[in-house]
A and B are shown apart, each in its own frame.
Chain A
Amino acid sequence: MRNLFPRWVNTVPVKVIFAMGIVGGAVTAGINYYATPKYTRVGYQPTQPVSYDHKFHAGGLGVDCRYCHHGVDKSSHANIPSANVCMSCHKNVKPDSPLLAPIRDSYFGEDVNKDGKLSEEEDTNGDGLLTSGPSVPWVRIHKLPDYVYFNHAIHVNRGVSCVECHGRIDQMKVVHHNKPLSMAFCLDCHRKPENALRPMNEVTNLAWTSEITEDSSSNIDKIHSGLDIKHNWGVNPPLSCTGCHR
């Protein structure tokens, strides 16, 4: 019996194993990187139906977060403002801007002549009630899974600023997803809340840094003031499943 296989066949198993290792490693690395919240979420910046500029309103004009997101310190949800909130200013400021058309449609609805009353010809659906228009379809940016019950009120009232999860919204012309909002992200903070705590009045001041740290570059003083707050307020965030999963 002569040699049935050529000589190079001897190295095939090694090569196959080696190639499989490379492919497997690439797939694993790819999934680890591309399928994690860090990649899939951070940077998500959809186009909104109305190009509301947070940098201008919150950063420039200094409108407080809670003017529009008024449920944030009372409810689990930080509500997206209804059209009437926008219109409380824009009835007078740029009332005819074409960019605000979806807001006006939603606000006035059947009230075509905008007099606040419903005349008979305006009552298109015939129910005798002044019906507002279609909702403005804001695109959701920050979304947690359905089995996670995050509560805004407890965080905002206990000195965790908006900036901790949402980044410097006051510097974003178009809002994007800034932090991964993964479970590890939540737990990092729940384990060391002192890194995130600040005086209650500074919660919506996204530019705030601890006064002590103004001249020193270190982060340690921020932690110190956070530790004080944590101690004084008895902050002890839950680390077990029931804290967020119900």
Chain B
Amino acid sequence: MIKEIPEKNLDNGKRYWKSLDDLAETPGFRSWVEREFPEGASMLEGVQRRGFVKLMAASFGLAGLGMTGCRRPEHTILPYGKSPEELIPGVPNFYATSMPTAQGNIPLIVESHNGRPTKIEGNPSYIPFGGSTNIYAQASVLDIYDPDRTRNPVVIDSKDNSDSKPLTSLDILDYTSEWMQNGKVAILADKSFSSAREQLKQQLISKGVLWCEHEAIDLTKPEINLGKAFGLNNGLRMIPNLRKASRVLSLDSDFLGNREPNSLANTRALMKGRKVLSANDAKKMNRLYSVESDLTITGGVADHRLRLDSSQFIAFSNLLTAEVLTLLSKGDDKLIEHLNQRGASLKRHKKWIIECAKDLCKKPQESVILPGSHLPTEVHALSFMLNQELGAIGNTVDYHHTNSSESTISDLFNSVNNRTVDTVIFLGGNPVLTASDYEWEDFSTKIKNKLHLGHSFNETSSICNFHLGQSHFLESWDEGQTWDGTAIVPVQPLVAPLFDTISDIELLLSLIGSDVSSHDFVLSLQEKRSAKKSFKDFLRLGVEKLKPTIQSSKFELSKLNQFKDETTKQPSSENLEVLLVPDFHAWDGRFANNGWMQECPDPISKLTWDNALLISPVLAKELEEKYPSLGLLPKPTMLNNNGQIAPDNAVFDHGKQKAPIVKLALSENKFIEGPLYVQPGLADFTIIASLGLGRSNIGNVGKGTGYNSYPLLNKESNRIISKVSLEPTGEFKILANVQEHWSMEGRAIVREGNAEEYITDEAFASHMGAESHSPKIWGKDQEADLAFKAKTTPRGNSSYEHPDHNYEKSESPGLHQWGMAIDLNQCTGCSACVVACQSENNIPIVGKDQVLRGREMHWIRLDRYFSSTERDGAELPSDVQVSFQGVACMHCETAPCETVCPVNATVHDEEGLNAMAYNRCVGTRYCANNCPYKVRRFNFFDWNKRKTDEVYKGPLGEENDSLPAMGKNPDVTVRMRGVMEKCTYCVQRIQESKIQVKVKAQRNALLQSGKDGADIELKESDIKVPDGSIKTACQQVCPSDSISFGDISDPESEVSKLKNNPRDYSVLGYLNTRPRTTFLAKVRNPNPQMPHSVSSPHSSREYHDKAHPVHHDDGDHNTPQEKTH
């Protein structure tokens, strides 16, 4: 820990500046003269773990007037009194732990620098996730350093708190044990997969405590209802095994995205079956059918997509079951008739369903049907039967037995009304927000003692008498199961609680009157479970196997006859339907104060800092006609199809389209108000509203973001809502969208082909783009191997010699030549890489206002394009194909940014990295201007130093809380105002690996020689980094392994092999930038029998239409053409 001590002669300095005395006293001036990098934390040299918060604060406080002398300020180094055994200052430690979520624990490995957790990675010992993590796990490290988290217990309207000293958590635990003695206690908990909590829960229930659980987006609901429908005492949880699947049908299920559980395992398994490296792979490639009302990233991956309102899935799945049973000749006529009758309203999709059913029945055991968790039980029962009759159960899907349901929030309210409960403890969660349909005012008057344990003060805390801070999972002991029940994983703290907080396990332990610590409790559980394995081994590996009970017996098809309720009518513009979905940024609201999540664009809508009411282009058109002042649809051109000037309906403010705010009402007092946003791919009369934003009681980050749609959620948390009316309010809001333009306009940016095209022509991607027509980029060396091109930078057709990647004074070029390959066919668009990069590279958030100015700082952005058949240049299409492309610095070999830098701040290094020297940059921004990929980011302000709403005040602006600075990666510079930055290929990881390899080689050689080491001889292979040992942050997090990184001068490396694949291409390759990051073209796998099937993806058809219009008209050119439909 380095801190600055004020100069001894401070007084003299002050006297000298006498006339400016007041100026020198202002905090603004003091901060101005402070050092440029307040995050001196990067030089932490060893501090008492428990004292470092204090020291952190002290270092900022003591940062004094360093200008009083010309000498450098005095720094101190504070070593430990007794050094912990496992800690070497400067070497990070890694601990296995897991993140508890309502969808099972996510196994993690967390990096810790001198006791500060800084980076979260997945634990590769848990095979289904393969070391990947989702975006929320990545962002969760920020929550431990959330300045708005609860630091001390809060006591509200207590009688004796007026002038007594503030209470500690321990004092409050005295109150709770008093309550326990009086009885009448109820606990309302959020869903948890903790086995420690399960144990304590049973003990509390036996003591007469009412235990209820509530989760607004309860992903375990379908399994419990399915069990009930089949007359079981347990739930039936669906665990797909998509690795074996060749045909997948998703019924409104976003099983690759954030709306369904276990998305990491699903993504990993499904995308493995879509990895295409040869024609043979393409033949075996799986096919995804998706029927959905919203456009999700699962729909983006789908080969065939049907838009259907969520309420219509009962009819759809009945019709599908009838078709499949007929094809398999199973089920009696009466059942088929029953099914057909219930599906009668969807006759218009009959052809789609028949062809899909035929395809599913081709290899029945390799097919699987996945229903969305918000759909009614009937759909889940039908899907079960379909999977059973196809023979999928046991192959592509398993049904695990789970516990039956707990008491719910309505049981709690019954007890409250019966006065059998007078004390309620809220264990995490935020039911006042997420179950707003209940009468909380009445509740709070009836209940005497209310305690909320939570991460920060929220809506629920505000109705309680006591609010206790809940320790972050990186501060607490626990253990829990993964969603699929095949593993139990520990929750291990990396740091003692930073503030006076306790974990849920500690609270429950105190409630049962035990004085065992949470560590000892978890230890005892583990010892009870397995005597052979030690607790240390459990913690080291971080995973212990479990065997779930699997449903093995079959069910009678006749069980399907039980569903007889009336089906919902088709929605229309008069009778709108709303689907409530978890928000991408905030999920159910728990991440709403996380800046990384708020600023990460939604993968489909590309909105940041807000949610919107998504509507289809069809509905938008109808609304436009009904309310002409709405201004929903901007015109892409000034002219209409007839060439006449057409006025633009949309309303703009400073070039940003204003979104009209509308009121969606279910009844007089059940309504929400939010901005409309038109998005292709939605079911025509469904509106998508997301839950979790627009919270009223939240910290500074989440304040004022989005609208709250919880008022539409009813007591049963039914997320499909019919008969909603829409009315404009006349107000407008500007949404911060990071990618307003959605079309590639026929350019070959993302190159796509169908599997059949790929089988006939593996190099289809290289026949697209301007470079396929231009002279060869590498000239006579075009066909030379990758290593030669990387090491020597051939001249190509240039008039000038290109400098090679070595320095005149260095004897050899770099040992490695770094490069990256991104397989677009593997990318689902989940955006975890964006946040992983932010966490690894100390990338700041900039706030909505700055995002609107296009100043977001993400080093990797995920471009999303739509393409369609019906596009005529002006209209937003309804049926689209989605393509994603992650774009970061390409590390061009002939980089355009380097030639324009006046101060040589961006130059190449000998290993092919496009280096960025921050301390040399003067901020001309020429480089960003000259970058064809637009990947350079400029620090317009001191984002890291100052609060986002204070940046315009410059040195007078208020500074950031020092807490988030502790989560910064000390191996990466924290950039200041006025410098450019961009992707570095995680150069800190590269350098660290190179150093480790050399140190190890040298030491081994010394040990072997046994002499003084002068005569050791090291071969080049000894000091080269082995392939696969460096993973960039984006690569490590990716669940589908779509990013590969390594040495392209080594022909055996994985990345070289991918780059030599015929699918490989460079974006804007014709510019002769020779990017080191190349892309592998996307392959889609449509079924030619399906209606609207096309022989070539829409985007490539658009490209060929634009690139070869003459040939196209001739009809004799063999460019793939769309089949009529």
A contact set with B: CB distance below 8 Å = 34-35, 40-41, 44, 46, 70-71, 73-77, 79-85, 106-107, 109, 131-140, 143, 145-147, 149, 151, 153-154, 157-159, 191, 198-202, 225, 228-229, 232-234, 236, 238-243, 245-246
Contacts and interface: CB of A to CB of B under 8 A. Distances in A.
A228 B1013 CA distance: 12
A245 to B, nearest CB: 5
16 contacts: A71-B88, A77-B89, A79-B46, A79-B88, A80-B79, A106-B81, A131-B50, A135-B47, A138-B78, A140-B2, A143-B75, A146-B42, A151-B991, A229-B1014, A236-B811, A239-B910
B89 A240 contact: no
A45 to B, nearest CB: 12
B893 to A, nearest CB: 15
Interface of B: 1-2, 36-37, 39-40, 42-43, 45-48, 50, 70-72, 74-83, 88-91, 807, 809-812, 815, 907-911, 913, 915-920, 971-974, 984, 987-988, 990-991, 995, 998-999, 1002-1003, 1006, 1011-1020, 1022-1023
B985 to A, nearest CB: 9
B909 A83 contact: no
Contacts of B918: 147, 245
A240 B813 CA distance: 12
A202 B1011 CA distance: 11
Contact of A157 (B81, B908, B987, B999): B999
Nearest to B807: A239
B927 to A, nearest CB: 14
A232 B48 contact: no
A239 B809 contact: yes
A44 B911 CA distance: 37
Contacts of A241: 907, 909, 915-917, 920
Contact of A35 (B70, B77, B909, B1013): B70
Contacts of B45: 77, 79-80
A153 B913 CA distance: 23
A75 B48 contact: no
A242 B1017 contact: no
Nearest to A156: B999
A107 B809 contact: no
Given A137-B76, A242-B987, A149 B43 contact: no
Contact of B1018 (A82, A151, A234): A234
Contact of B82 (A83, A151, A236, A243): A83
A135 B81 contact: yes
B79 to A, nearest CB: 4
Contact of B81 (A44, A73, A84, A233): A84
B71 A40 contact: yes
Nearest to B909: A240
A177 B1019 CA distance: 37
A245 B39 CA distance: 16
Contacts of A139: 74-77
A70 B80 CA distance: 14
A238 B909 contact: yes
Given A40-B71, A71-B88, A240-B910, A147 B81 contact: no
A205 to B, nearest CB: 10
Contacts of B78: 135-138
A80 B2 CA distance: 12
A79 B114 CA distance: 12
B991 A243 contact: yes
Contacts of A198: 1014
A137 B863 CA distance: 51
Nearest to B994: A154
A137 B1006 CA distance: 37
Contacts of B50: 131
A81 B89 contact: no
Contacts of A200: 1002, 1006, 1012-1014, 1016
Contacts of A46: 74
A199 B1012 contact: yes
Given A132-B80, A243-B991, A146 B37 contact: yes
Contact of B79 (A82, A109, A154): A82
B972 A246 contact: yes
Contact of B991 (A131, A140, A246): A246
Given A41-B72, A238-B910, A245-B915, 14 more contacts: A40-B70, A40-B72, A71-B91, A80-B45, A80-B79, A81-B79, A140-B2, A146-B973, A147-B973, A158-B999, A199-B1014, A200-B1006, A242-B990, A246-B984
Contacts, number: 199
Contact of A82 (B40, B46, B809, B1020): B46
Given A46-B74, A77-B89, A236 B79 contact: no
A242 B79 contact: no
Contact of B77 (A73, A138, A202): A138
Counting chain A CB atoms within 10 Å of each CB, the highest count among B70, B89, B1006 belongs to: B89
B1013 A201 contact: yes
A245 B917 contact: yes
Contact of B995 (A79, A80, A132, A151): A151
A234 B77 contact: no
A219 B89 CA distance: 37
B626 to A, nearest CB: 57
Counting chain A CB atoms within 10 Å of each CB, the highest count among B45, B81, B811, B812 belongs to: B81
B995 A153 contact: yes
A180 B911 CA distance: 29
Contacts of B911: 242
A191 B809 contact: yes
A201 B971 CA distance: 29
Given A75-B90, A83-B80, A225 B1002 contact: no
B76 A71 contact: no
Nearest to A233: B1018
Given A81-B79, A232-B1017, A157 B1012 contact: no
Contacts of B1016: 200, 232-233
A83 B870 CA distance: 75
A77 B80 CA distance: 15
A108 to B, nearest CB: 8
Contacts of A140: 2, 74-77
A84 B82 contact: yes
Counting chain A CB atoms within 10 Å of each CB, the highest count among B909, B988, B1019 belongs to: B909
A94 to B, nearest CB: 19
Counting chain A CB atoms within 10 Å of each CB, the highest count among B80, B811, B999 belongs to: B80
B998 A242 contact: no
A135 B918 CA distance: 34
Contacts of A74: 88, 91
Contacts of B1018: 232-234
Given A35-B70, A71-B91, A75-B88, A149 B998 contact: no
A136 B83 CA distance: 13
Contacts of A76: 90-91
B1020 to A, nearest CB: 6
Contacts of A245: 915, 917-919, 973
B1014 A225 contact: yes
Contact of A240 (B908, B1011, B1022): B908
A76 B995 CA distance: 10
B414 to A, nearest CB: 43
A71 B79 CA distance: 13
A157 to B, nearest CB: 5
Given A34-B70, A75-B90, A201-B1013, A82 B83 contact: yes
Counting chain B CB atoms within 10 Å of each CB, the highest count among A73, A145, A241 belongs to: A241
Contacts of A239: 807, 809-810, 910
Nearest to B1003: A157
B907 A240 contact: yes
Contacts of B75: 139-140, 143
Contacts of B76: 137-140
Nearest to B989: A246
A173 to B, nearest CB: 20
A83 B81 contact: yes
Contacts of B1003: 157
